[in-house]
Amino acid sequence: ETGVTQTPRHLVMGMTNKKSLKCEQHLGHNAMYWYKQSAKKPLELMFVYNFKEQTENNSVPSRFSPECPNSSHLFLHLHTLQPEDSALYLCASSRVAGRNNEQFFGPGTRLTVL
């Protein structure tokens, strides 16, 4: 266990549904990240939060809406997704954002959009 938990582990949703992914870290870190891992493609960074403030948005469509209420929790709110959004969504945390801060990953949420 890395100290980063994600729920749910699996999620199936229709294109008109609204759902949320949750990430929690127990490492005392101040930076949290969302990554997307699609089949046959490298991991892609989506969002970075540092001390609850969003510091990076990697041109992510607005149907993905992140929320970071405190340094330990990170959410990804999903609405009107497309089938091509089906992927493994990984959360990570690090002591602070910035280079040379090792990132620790959660187990991921496997999302299927029908």
Binding site for other proteins (CB under 8 A): 2, 4, 6, 31, 33, 40-43, 45, 48, 50, 55-56, 58, 88, 90, 92, 94, 97-108, 110
Which residues are bridge partners to 94 per DSSP?
31
Smallest distance from the beta carbon of 98 to other proteins, in angstroms? 5
Region of residue 51 (phi > 0: left; psi between -120 and 50: alpha; otherwise: beta): left
Q: How far is the CB of 50 from other proteins (least distance, A)?
A: 8
- For residue 66, give Cα distances in angstroms to 39, 55, 82: 22, 12, 17
- Residue 15 or 28 having the CB closest to other proteins: 28
- Cβ closer to other proteins: 68 or 97? 97
Alpha-carbon distance of 39 to 21, in angstroms, equals: 19
